[in-house]
Amino acid sequence: MSIFIEKTRIRNFRSLRQVDITLSPNVTLLVGANNAGKTTFLRALGIALNADRRFISQDDLFIDKDGNALGEDERAIWIDVKIVPADGRSEFDDLWLDAFGVDAKIDASGQQFFAFRTQIEFGVLNKQAQIKRYVINTWESNSADENSEVSANLSGIPFHFIDAQRDLNEDVHQRTSHFGSLTGKIEYDQAQRRALENALAQLNEDAVARSAVLLHLRTSLAELNKTVQERGRGVEITPFPKKVRDLHKGMKVHFQDGGSDTFSLEYHGMGTRSWASLLAFKAKVSWDSAEKQEENEPFFPILGLEEPEAHLHPNAQRQVYRQLAEISGQKIISTHSPYIAALADLSEIRHFYKASDITVLNRIDTAALNTDERRKLKREVLQSNGELLFSKAIILFEGETESQALPIFAKKYWNMDPFEMGLTFIAVNGNNYKPFLLLASAFNVPWFIFSDYDKTGIKRGVDNALSDIGLDSAMPHSNAVKLNMSIEDYLISESYQSQLKAGINAWYAVTTAPDTDQRQIDAGVTKINSYTDEKLLRDISSDNGKVRYPSFWAKEIIKLSDDRAIPPKIRDLFNAISTTTLHPIQEQISNDAI
């Protein structure tokens, strides 16, 4: 029977000021923007399970955004871990009970658990990390028994951290790598070793005898025999290992890709080498698991993996994720890949968000979702717009016009491309706001709506989405901008007719054949400039107009030198984004933004 880490609590470790997380038995996927705390969480688990103080210093203590350290009474890091039986069982099997001993406890529901606190304090003089482990008798108490240090044997729960820089070509030469550790287990009995070394001796002799160069070298180096004048066989040249114990030193891994020749991994790309390193880890864990089972010892490895997608194309990312899911033990994986996130079950995703100076952690309550909501979240959000998980804020709108125009206005407003600030623009294709707001609200990703809010179906979509996350749709919200008309109607009402017409003409200018008669071009410009408001609205609101013109008229509008360079309602949207997000984007933008 297996076990798994069900819950962890972390206090005062880097940006993890106060984080509680429930983990999935098989795979837990950590998602979020860069520097949100995902790798920090994996490091914390490694410290808790391995009690390794080598990489801990006072710099790991939480410091707020103003550079203020914790008070003297808080200058300690602690990491709580709760381990429970897997597969819905309430009791550990005998092997794990023996390992945990008296440290195993029973909660109020009758379930056995083993929980402990890893507490890290720093000496006043030498400032070195002091690590102690205390038993937790009651998880809900949020405290540990400092009179009861852990006596449980945790050797059967090894934690392996694999960072994004993995490379099997490097692992082959390192005895401490997973590949090196496994090849270090190579063993032969005496008869097998003698036979292999005889074969190696013959191979070396044949290689030298058939090479004029090697024979010449051996003859020249034989002068050593006269100089040193020692007993023995003198100089030997061995192109291949002489002893079985040295086999690993020249070991290489070769790989044939498609119809090409077979090459050593050093000649393959980083994607292949990174993937191979993960497969070597899988082999190591499988071997160790079989050994422990044969020895009747408990064994449950924990893998903390950083960015399995590193150097891999999307299809390979999907494949490597499936292979990781098959590895024995519990896998806790940080990723920036929407392709990998789309493969995970909603219940496996944990979202990290950096709110000012602390990490905020969230998960979605899948039990509260119906079947249709689950399907939409998977298909329409994660599979089609997975970048939402890695955004600082998302802007939702109905369709194509906003998709083209809003990023142009955003760049004008902030004087930088919106993607540099972590902004993601998402078209919900009509009134389908609900799944996006459900996920954004659950994961604490700041969201904003820019809606025409002009038709019954659109209004219903916006109102229902707001209602489902607990907001009164009848009340005004600074992060929900409602035009109460189409965006094309709105621009005409704000007297942008000249810029709209100039945008149409600009589109025709870049799509008209080079050999078109100038008189024909001039006639077209005259015709467009003579549009009435009704005709202009009909043209830019048509299906073709929504696809063709928005990026062109938006570029004409931002040429204006006064406040009209950004239409008022769009400016309201951007003002709200700058001032109301959890981690104000305004702090990151240029001072010369409009």
Query: Where residue 11 sits, what CATH number does that domain have?
Result: 3.40.50.300
- Give dist(CA 415, CA 570) in Å, integer: 15
Residue 380 covered by a domain: no
Q: Which pLDDT score is estimated for 228?
A: 55
- State whether 214 and 339 are in the same domain: no
**Crossing angle of helices 533-541 and 497-511, rounded to 10°:** 50
- Give dist(CA 303, CA 418) in Å, integer: 35
- State whether 7 and 142 are in the same domain: yes
- On whether the CB atoms of residues 237 and 214 are closer than 8 A, the answer is yes
- On whether the CB atoms of residues 49 and 157 are closer than 8 A, the answer is yes
Determine the straight-line distance between the first and last CA of the chain, rounded to whole angstroms. Answer: 62
- State whether 398 and 490 are in the same domain: yes
232-233-239 Cα angle (round to 5): 135
Q: Is 223 left (phi over 0), alpha (psi -120 to 50) or beta?
A: alpha
What are the structure tokens assigned to 294, written together?
A: 């044969």
Q: Which pLDDT score is estimated for 529?
A: 94
- State whether 127 and 22 are in the same domain: yes
Q: Which pLDDT score is estimated for 448?
A: 96
**Crossing angle of helices 400-414 and 568-580, rounded to 10°:** 60
- State whether 53 and 123 are in the same domain: yes
Backbone phi and psi for residue 454, each to the nearest 5 degrees, phi listed first: -115, -15
Q: Which pLDDT score is estimated for 234?
A: 65
- State whether 492 and 549 are in the same domain: yes
**Structural domain range at position 185:** 177-251
Residue 192 covered by a domain: yes
In the chain, the number of structural domains is: 3
Contacts (Cβ under 8 Å, ≥6 apart) of 499: 553, 556, 557, 559, 560
* Residue found under tokens 């292979």: 323
- On whether the CB atoms of residues 361 and 13 are closer than 8 A, the answer is no
- State whether 118 and 14 are in the same domain: yes
- State whether 411 and 536 are in the same domain: yes
- Give dist(CA 145, CA 137) in Å, integer: 7
- Give dist(CA 489, CA 493) in Å, integer: 6
Q: Which pLDDT score is estimated for 66?
A: 66
Q: What is the dihedral of CA 97, 101, 103, 107, to 10 degrees?
A: 40
Q: Which pLDDT score is estimated for 588?
A: 41
Which residue positions in the chain have pLDDT lower than 50? 582-594
Q: Which pLDDT score is estimated for 437?
A: 94
- Asked which of 299, 327, 354 is the last residue of a domain, the reply is 354
- Give dist(CA 319, CA 315) in Å, integer: 6
Length of the chain in terms of residues written: 594
Residue 293 covered by a domain: yes
Residue 265 covered by a domain: no
- State whether 455 and 520 are in the same domain: yes
Q: Which pLDDT score is estimated for 258?
A: 62
- State whether 55 and 153 are in the same domain: yes
- State whether 422 and 554 are in the same domain: yes
- State whether 401 and 467 are in the same domain: yes
Please choose, from the candidates 147, 120, 117, the residue with its C-alpha nearest in 3D space to the C-alpha of residue 133.
Answer: 117
Burial class for 553, CB neighbours closer than 10 Å (0-12, 13-18, 19+): buried
Residue 379 covered by a domain: no
Task: Lay out the sheet containing 159-162: strands in order across.
Answer: 159-162, 302-306, 330-334, 27-31, 349-355, 358-362
Residue 359 covered by a domain: no
Residue 360 covered by a domain: no
Q: Which pLDDT score is estimated for 587?
A: 44
- Give dist(CA 538, CA 20) in Å, integer: 55
Report the predicted TM-score, pTM, of the whole model to 2 decimal places.
0.84
Residue 370 covered by a domain: no
